[in-house]
Amino acid sequence: MPEDDPALSAAEELALARLALDEGDLEHAAGHVAAALAQAPTLPEVHETLARLAAASGGGVDLFPLDHHTFVGAAVARAHLLAAAGRPAEGLDLLAAATGYAPRTDWAGVPWVTAPELVERIAPEHVARILMQVCGAVPDPVPRAGRPALAAYLTLAGNAVTAHPEHGLLLGAASALARRVGEVTQAIGWAARGVRAEPSKLGEVWLGYAYRSAGRTREALAALGRAVAHDPNDLAVYADIAGTLADVGRLDEALDWIERALARDPTFDCAVHTAHRLRYLRDGDVAHLVALADFAREHPDDTHEHGDLAECCRSRPWLGQVTPAAGPLADALRRSGAGDRGGAVRLPTPPPPSALRTATAAAPGLRIEVAGAGEPDGREPRRADSRPLWRYEGADVAPAVAAPSAAAAERLRRLAHPAWPHPPAAYDAAVGLATLELADLLGLLAHPPEPPAGAVGQVLAEQDPALWVRCVQVWACLGLLHHRTDEPWEGSTRRRVLLDLVWGVEDWTTEAALFALVTAAWVDPAVRPDVARVVAERLADAAVVARTRPVPIAISLAHLALATPALDAQTRDLATGLVAAGTTAPRPRNPLTRLWHRLTLRPHP
């Protein structure tokens, strides 16, 4: 078998376990059996060796004690031995805990769990609790690849329902599991039986969820409405109804339900999160998302995690991902990344320095022909007092800063990614760059390291080298936000350096630095007026320049403005107009649409 086959590793552990058993060394044998179970929890040979160990030790349970750091294989071994000793309920508790630890592993796929007679030895309330524990440990719905690991629990649910056909709690919990693993018809049937047997708020909620998963919105809303009638004070159900209505486009009704919840408790976390999400869906104003981020920061002890902010930011320019580079040279770079390394691209004015440097490195056969300098010259800083990141030598451009250290390059290489859940999450993730020297952070902007090894790095390098460079620059600027945070914002090094980049030569680093400032405004309300002013001035400057020459970064700056907290209405209107003009303008077909979708499906944590 291949070396990475889990069964091979288990076989090696079992061989050592048998040797220890033959020598009477039961503790070492137990350790090897636990390791084998962790590798291959359903392998028959593992359970045969565990049975030998039990026979040699009078049951074997004491060989696998529990503490705060119990190895998962030892917990699973103890579960099987408890079941063999006539204590299957305790064994199921441990298997459910193992599933919570590693939900994609089939810890429960063994005969004693799926045997019909097991449910005669365990109270239905206990089975329901096990099923609810498993549900709480897995996504809703569970991806197809993760469903086989839960098949034994679904069999257990079916056996328990057969034995206790009128137990409302059990039927509802069984429905919840069935729904998560894609057995929606079964989920509806079990939940409906549960409601008929024992009408309750929780039963109606389970039924409503099952109907919703089946796309039967009318029945789902009716069930959730009955849940409200059972308990008008459970505001989580109001949020569920609002979310269900929003999913089918009934936004006004959804907002009405969530306002009813907020009227009862303005601080209830589910209602607040849902309300801000729905308001953003209604009018697209980022102020709702900023308010949601503020609420989450001020209430870190919410009852559970919410995904509303990440859902709203996902795939949106700068809110959840870096925007691909714009302009004819960026398009040519993508074509060269796809394999066309030669040819020529004709530009009306000089390209951004980062674009030129990336093209020279990634597509050395690409001829770049520039018609003229343009007015104003894009190779000059937009403000004369900005410290230069680049210097021009004739038609060529070179970094004006030294290359970063190898350690700094490696640290950023491990971190950079084109997507993030939302700006505060990006800020938090960048704390890993807090100890880098300022010279290293600036060096990373002008000397981007090679992409990391692995599939994502290879795709970025080969298909869109510009995207990797932009990732590096974005994360280096986020690192600048963590530089000398003890300094007050107004006179801080981090603010000064980011402003130098914002007002320097028109470049991709302009966008990256402005995104860092926008992110600072998301996480610190005190800096919002300052950042909003900078964003407004930089966008207005780009709009003026665009009247006389192309500004490839203008649309991206507009998206950044629309992501800025506390932006004035006039600048927001300007940004909206620029985005609309860029959306309607003819653009070449982007061959990376599918690739971009793949890269941003799993945001960097």
Secondary structure element (H or E) that encloses residue 550, with its range:
none
The tens digit of pLDDT for each residue in 304-333 reads 678 999 999 999 999 999 999 998 888 887
**Chain centre to alpha carbon of residue 289:** 17
Q: Is 241 exposed, middle or buried (0-12, 13-18, 19+ CB in 10 A)?
A: buried
The tens digit of pLDDT for each residue in 72-97 reads 999 999 999 999 999 999 999 999 99
In 3D space, the residue among 299, 554, 306 whose CA is nearest the CA of residue 422 turns out to be 306
What are residue 374's phi and psi, to 5 degrees? 80, 165
Q: Which two tokens stand for residue 23?
A: 């020598």
Measured distance CA(98)–CA(78) in Å, rounded = 11
Q: Which two tokens stand for residue 226?
A: 């009955």
The tens digit of pLDDT for each residue in 148-160 reads 999 999 999 999 9
The mean pLDDT value for 111-117 works out to: 97
What are residue 178's phi and psi, to 5 degrees? -60, -40
**Chain centre to alpha carbon of residue 102:** 18
Model confidence at 428: pLDDT above 60:
yes
Torsion of CA 458, 439, 518, 460, to 10 degrees: -10
- Please give the pLDDT value at position 590: 43
> Coil, strand or helix: which one is 12?
helix
Secondary structure element (H or E) that encloses residue 543, with its range:
helix 528-545
Q: How far, CA to CA in Å, does 267 sit from each of 235, 274, 295, 382, 424?
A: 11, 12, 9, 46, 21
In 3D space, the residue among 247, 271, 243, 245 whose CA is nearest the CA of residue 259 turns out to be 271
Query: What b-and-e string marks burial along 452-468, b requiring 16 or more CB atoms within 10 Å of the CB?
Result: beeebeebbbebbbbbb
Higher pLDDT, 592 or 477: 477
- Please give the pLDDT value at position 3: 41
Parallel/antiparallel/unpaired status of strands 344-347 and 367-370: parallel
- Please give the pLDDT value at position 8: 61
- Residue 495 contacts residue 533 (beta carbons within 8 Å): no
Q: How far, CA to CA in Å, does 506 sit from each of 175, 256, 334, 460?
A: 58, 46, 21, 24
Model confidence at 589: pLDDT above 50:
no
- Residue 484 contacts residue 441 (beta carbons within 8 Å): no
Measured distance CA(604)–CA(474) in Å, rounded = 13
- Please give the pLDDT value at position 599: 52
Measured distance CA(586)–CA(577) in Å, rounded = 16
Task: Please tell me what DSSP assigns to residue 449.
Answer: P
Measured distance CA(531)–CA(86) in Å, rounded = 66
The tens digit of pLDDT for each residue in 14-72 reads 999 999 999 999 999 999 999 999 999 999 999 999 999 999 999 999 999 998 889 99
Cβ neighbours for 271, distance < 8 A, ≥ 6 positions apart = 235, 238, 239, 258, 261, 262, 265
How many residues comprise the chain?
Answer: 605
Measured distance CA(410)–CA(401) in Å, rounded = 18
What single letter denotes the amino acid at residue 96? A
In 3D space, the residue among 528, 529, 565, 561 whose CA is nearest the CA of residue 542 turns out to be 561
- Residue 37 contacts residue 5 (beta carbons within 8 Å): no
- Please give the pLDDT value at position 329: 87
Q: Across the strands, what pairs with 347?
A: 370
What single letter denotes the amino acid at residue 513? A
The mean pLDDT value for 533-556 works out to: 96
- Orientation of helix 508-523 relative to helix 286-298, angle to 10°: 50
- Residue 349 contacts residue 371 (beta carbons within 8 Å): yes
Rg (CA), the chain: 29
Report CA torsion sign: 54, 57, 58, 63: negative
Task: Please tell me what DSSP assigns to residue 175.
Answer: H
The mean pLDDT value for 210-223 works out to: 97
Measured distance CA(493)–CA(80) in Å, rounded = 60
What single letter denotes the amino acid at residue 407? A
- Residue 293 contacts residue 421 (beta carbons within 8 Å): no
Query: What b-and-e string marks burial along 406-430, b requiring 16 or more CB atoms within 10 Å of the CB?
Result: eebbebbbebbbbbbbbbbbbbebb
The tens digit of pLDDT for each residue in 245-273 reads 999 999 999 999 999 999 999 999 999 99
What single letter denotes the amino acid at residue 257? W
Q: Which two tokens stand for residue 444?
A: 């990373």
**Mean pLDDT, rounded, of the chain:** 91
Model confidence at 113: pLDDT above 50:
yes
Locate tokens 């070492």: which residue?
Answer: 28
- Please give the pLDDT value at position 458: 73
The tens digit of pLDDT for each residue in 496-522 reads 999 999 999 999 999 999 999 999 999
- Range with the lowest mean pLDDT among 339-348, 433-442, 481-490? 339-348
Degrees to nearest 5, angle at CA 85 with 82 and 86: 95
The mean pLDDT value for 461-484 works out to: 91
Secondary structure element (H or E) that encloses residue 55, with its range:
helix 44-56
Q: pTM score, two decimals? A: 0.83
- Residue 304 contacts residue 338 (beta carbons within 8 Å): no
The tens digit of pLDDT for each residue in 372-408 reads 888 999 899 999 888 899 998 877 899 999 999 999 9
Task: Please tell me what DSSP assigns to residue 404.
Answer: P
- Residue 168 contacts residue 145 (beta carbons within 8 Å): no
What single letter denotes the amino acid at residue 297? R
